[in-house]
Structure 1
C-alpha cells in the first residue's frame, strides 16, 4: 500500500517570547552591529573625546597661567565638585533649570498633541500647508527667532505691550518684560516652545498615522466619545512617540543657552542663569575653568539619568528588548 509522500516539515516559528529570551551568541547576526559601527565610532570621536577631556578638567585646577603656558594643571581631586555642590547658588540654578524644563516641556506637549490631532482631521492639502509652515518654523535659526521675540517684547516699540494695552484697564506702556525674571523667563520659554513645537507636532502626527482606522471606527460604533477614543485607542498606539518626544524635549530644554544669551544681549543677569549659562559664565567670564567643567559634568550626568529613565520606559512599553 502506497503512502503519501511525507511533507516537508515547516520550520519552527519564532515567537516574541523566544526573541526576548535571545538567540545563542553564535546564531546572532553580525550585520546590525556592522551597520551601526560607523555611527558609534563617529560618536566616540566627536563626543567621547571632548567628554573625556571635560571630565579630566573637572578634577584639575586650570587657571589662565596653565591655559596660556600649556603647562599641566595641578590635580585638584574632588575639590571642584565639593565647591559646586556646597554652593547654595548652584542648587538655586538647578531648581530653576528643572522648573524651566518642566514648564517648557509641558507647554510644548500640551500644544503639540491637539495640533497633531487636528492635522489628521483636516483635508490633505491643508495638512500639507500646516506641515510646510511647521518645517519653516523649525528651520528658523535660533538667532532669528530670538531677535523676533526680543522685538515683540521691546519696552519701547514692542507689539506685545501694544496688543495687551488694548485690553480694558491694562497699561503696559514702556513695560520692560525682563525687569521681572518670571516675566523674562516667560519670553524665553516662548522662544524655546516656538522652536520645539514643530518637531513635537510632526513626530506625533507621524505616530498618529499608525492608529488602526478600523479600531477607531469600532470604538465609535460602540459609543465611545472623543475623550474615550483618545484614551483607550489613540494613546496606547502613540505612547512610545510621546515618551520619545518628551525625553528629547527635556534634554533640549535642560541645556538651553542660546535663547537666554541672545535675549539678554550677551550679558545675562544671575537671575537668568540656567545650568548651561552658569557653566559658561564660570568658565569664560570668571575664568574658573575647572569649576565650569564640574558644572558641565553634573549637567551631563543629569541628562544621562534622564536618558536611562527614557530607555527603561521604552523597555516597559516593549519598544526595545
Structure 2
C-alpha cells in the first residue's frame, strides 16, 4: 500500500512523493490464512459426532467379538464368570472341519443367485418406470414402496402362509392349474425348495430399492442424447447401449456392491423361514454362526465363525471392487 504526500521541489513547485507503508507482521496473507484453516477443518468437526457414534456402536462390538473368538466361552465359564483364553483353538476347530467350507460355498452361490435376479429384474422394472405414464408410474411406485416398507419378519410370515403344505396359496393354485402332485407339496422339506422360497422372498424385498433408484438415475439423462441417437437411426436397443447404459453403469456398480453385502448377511428371512433346515442344509454363514454360538452354546466358536464371516465378505467385496476399478481404468 502506498500514500502520496505533497512537498516543494527545487523549482518552487509542488512535488509529490510516494511513501510505501510497511507490510503487516507475519506477511500479507497472515489474516485470511487462519479462517481458511478453520474452514478446512469444519467438515471434519461436523463428521466427528457420527464417527464417534459409529465407533461406539460398531467398533466396540467388533473388538469384543474378536476378543471372544480367542476364548473358551461356554455355559460353565459364563456361570462362574471365568475368562479362559485358548489362542487360535476356535479358529483351528472351525477351519479344520468340512462343515464351515460347505457353508461358505453355499453362502457364495446363494448370494450370487439372488444378486443376479435382483439386479436383472430391478433394472427391467426401473426402465419400465421411466417409460410408463404418470398414473401408471405412480401406481407401480406405490406398490414397490409398500413391498419395501413391509417388515422382514412380517413378510417372512406371509411367505410361510403362501407356501404352506396343506393350506398354502401356491399349492392351491398349482393344483387348480392341473399340477395335482403339488397339492400337498412340502416346500420346506428339501434344500432346493427351501432356498427357492427364501430366494423369492429376498428378491421380492430387494427389487424396489434397485428399481426406484434406477428410475431416479434415468431422470438425469439428457433428452437431447436420445434425440441425437434417434436422428442417427438408432433403435431402442442401440439407444440403451449407447446412451442409457453408460449413464447407469456407475449406479449399477454401486447397487450391486450394496446388494452383495445385504444378501450375504441376510439372517431373519432364512432363520424365520425354517431355522436353516432341513437338517441344517440351508444354513448360510450368519445362520451357522448363530446356531453354533447361541444354539449350541459354544460362544467362542460362534464368535470365531462370525469374524471369519466378516473376512469372507471383505474378500468378496474387495475382489468385486478391484474388478470394477480395473474395468473403469480400461475404459479410460
- Per the shorter chain, which TM-score range? 0.7 to 0.9
Counterpart selection for 1:299 from 297, 309, 323: 309
Partner of 1:231: 241
Tell me which moved more, 40-49 or 300-309: 300-309
Is the alpha carbon distance of 1:291 and 1:265 closer, same or farther for their aligned partners in structure 2, counting shifts above 3 Å?
Answer: closer
Superposition deviation, residue 152 in structure 1: 1.0
RMSD: 2.3
Partners of 2:108 and 2:316 lie apart in 1 by 12
Partner of 2:265: 255
Tell me which moved more, 274-283 or 129-138: 129-138
Partners of 1:174 and 1:104 lie apart in 2 by 27
Residues 84, 90 of structure 1: 8 Å contact kept: yes
Superposition deviation, residue 68 in structure 1: 2.1
The correspondence of residues 1-321 of structure 1 with structure 2, limited to 5 A, is: 29-72=40-83, 74-168=84-178, 170-264=180-274, 269-309=279-319, 312=322, 317=328
Partners of 1:243 and 1:95 lie apart in 2 by 23
Tell me which moved more, 151-160 or 35-44: 35-44
Residues 191, 277 of structure 2: 8 Å contact kept: no
Superposition deviation, residue 39 in structure 1: 1.9
Residues 243, 310 of structure 1: 8 Å contact kept: no
1:242-262 deviations in Å (ceiling 9; x for gaps): 111111111111111111121
Partners of 2:101 and 2:194 lie apart in 1 by 20
Matched position secondary structure for 1:271: coil
Matched position secondary structure for 1:171: helix
Residues 214, 251 of structure 2: 8 Å contact kept: yes
Partners of 2:118 and 2:100 lie apart in 1 by 27
Superposition deviation, residue 91 in structure 1: 0.7
Give the structure with the larger strand fraction: 2
Tell me which moved more, 204-213 or 104-113: 204-213
Superposition deviation, residue 144 in structure 1: 1.2
TM-score (normalised: structure 1): 0.85
Superposition deviation, residue 70 in structure 1: 2.1
Unpaired runs of at least 5, structure 2: 1-36
1:134-179 deviations in Å (ceiling 9; x for gaps): 1111110111111111111111011111212233455212110111
1:93-114 deviations in Å (ceiling 9; x for gaps): 1111111101111111111011
Is the alpha carbon distance of 1:312 and 1:206 closer, same or farther for their aligned partners in structure 2, counting shifts above 3 Å?
Answer: farther
Aligned residues: 293
Partner of 1:21: none
Is the alpha carbon distance of 1:31 and 1:124 closer, same or farther for their aligned partners in structure 2, counting shifts above 3 Å?
Answer: farther
Residues 283, 290 of structure 1: 8 Å contact kept: yes
1:227-277 deviations in Å (ceiling 9; x for gaps): 222222111111111111111111111111111121116876311111111
Q: Larger radius of gyration, structure 1 or 2?
A: 2
TM-score (normalised: structure 2): 0.82
Matched position secondary structure for 1:30: helix
Is the alpha carbon distance of 1:238 and 1:34 closer, same or farther for their aligned partners in structure 2, counting shifts above 3 Å?
Answer: farther
Matched position secondary structure for 2:40: coil
Residues 103, 284 of structure 2: 8 Å contact kept: yes
Tell me which moved more, 171-180 or 267-276: 267-276
Superposition deviation, residue 27 in structure 1: 11
Residues 94, 100 of structure 2: 8 Å contact kept: yes
